[in-house]
């Protein structure tokens, strides 16, 4: 199914992830001659609509609907083979999971509509940001990322970011400080 194309874009399927934006951006990239594999992990109510969109955009040969996966070893393998994890909607723990395995994250730039974990996506260091709800810009950002082989430069930085700031000890410290500040101490 994926002969001749060795790029992967990984996405976990949930409603708020706006996966249709990912498919539309991959279709735009394909029109420019940039073809990528897109691996969608997950299942749910939107699966059939997304499969129809994939067919209608001529992406059937490059999009794989893996289905739900609850096996952490398999999930880790899927994340590590990906060039990047693209989350067109809000991103949360998916970002930390991907970054901890050295896979940069692409997500939107409106931090008011993000989970706190989106702060781990540092443009040019651990991932890239695109303009929220702008499929054209998402396509451009994915092209920039993959064509310039940015994973090679970001992989170790992703792992370092999680080890330094997104570990249980550090997050406990952040929580403790917030509680003490709220108590006026």
Question: Does residue 85 lie within any of the structural domains?
Answer: yes
Q: Pick the closest to residue 46 from 16, 69, 24, 26 (CA basis).
A: 16
CB 22 within 8 A of CB 155: no
Q: Which domain holds residue 130?
A: 8-182
| pLDDT tier at 13, thresholds 50, 70, 90 | low
Question: Does residue 66 lie within any of the structural domains?
Answer: yes
Question: Does residue 3 lie within any of the structural domains?
Answer: no
- Per-residue pLDDT tens over the stretch 16-73: 779 999 999 999 999 999 999 999 988 878 888 999 999 999 999 999 999 888 889 9
65 burial type by CB count under 10 A (0-12 exposed, 13-18 middle, 19+ buried) = middle
Question: Does residue 2 lie within any of the structural domains?
Answer: no
- Per-residue pLDDT tens over the stretch 122-180: 999 999 999 999 999 999 999 999 999 999 999 999 999 999 999 888 888 888 888 88
Question: Does residue 130 lie within any of the structural domains?
Answer: yes
Domain count for the chain, please give it.
1
Non-local CB neighbours of 25 within 8 Å, separated by 6+ positions = 88, 135, 136, 138, 139, 142
Question: Does residue 1 lie within any of the structural domains?
Answer: no
* CATH number of the domain enclosing 149: 3.40.50.2000
- Per-residue pLDDT tens over the stretch 61-94: 999 999 888 889 999 999 999 999 999 999 989 9
């Amino acid at each position: 199914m994926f002969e001749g194309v060795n790029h992967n874009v990984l996405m976990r399927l949930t409603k708020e992830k706006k996966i249709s934006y990912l498919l539309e951006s991959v279709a735009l990239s394909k029109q420019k001659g940039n073809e990528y594999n897109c691996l969608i992990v997950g299942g749910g109510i939107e699966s059939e609509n997304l499969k129809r969109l994939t067919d209608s955009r001529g992406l059937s040969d490059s999009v794989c609907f893996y289905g739900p996966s609850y096996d952490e070893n398999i999930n880790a393998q899927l994340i590590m083979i990906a060039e990047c994890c693209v989350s067109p909607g809000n991103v949360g723990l998916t970002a930390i999971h991907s970054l901890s395995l050295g896979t940069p994250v692409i997500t939107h730039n409106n931090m008011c509509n993000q989970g706190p974990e989106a702060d781990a996506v540092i443009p040019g260091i651990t991932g890239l940001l695109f303009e929220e709800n702008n499929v054209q810009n998402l396509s451009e950002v994915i092209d920039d990322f993959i064509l310039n082989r940015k994973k090679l430069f970001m992989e170790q930085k992703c792992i370092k970011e999680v080890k330094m700031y997104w570990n249980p000890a550090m997050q406990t410290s952040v929580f403790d400080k917030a509680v003490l500040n709220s108590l006026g101490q």
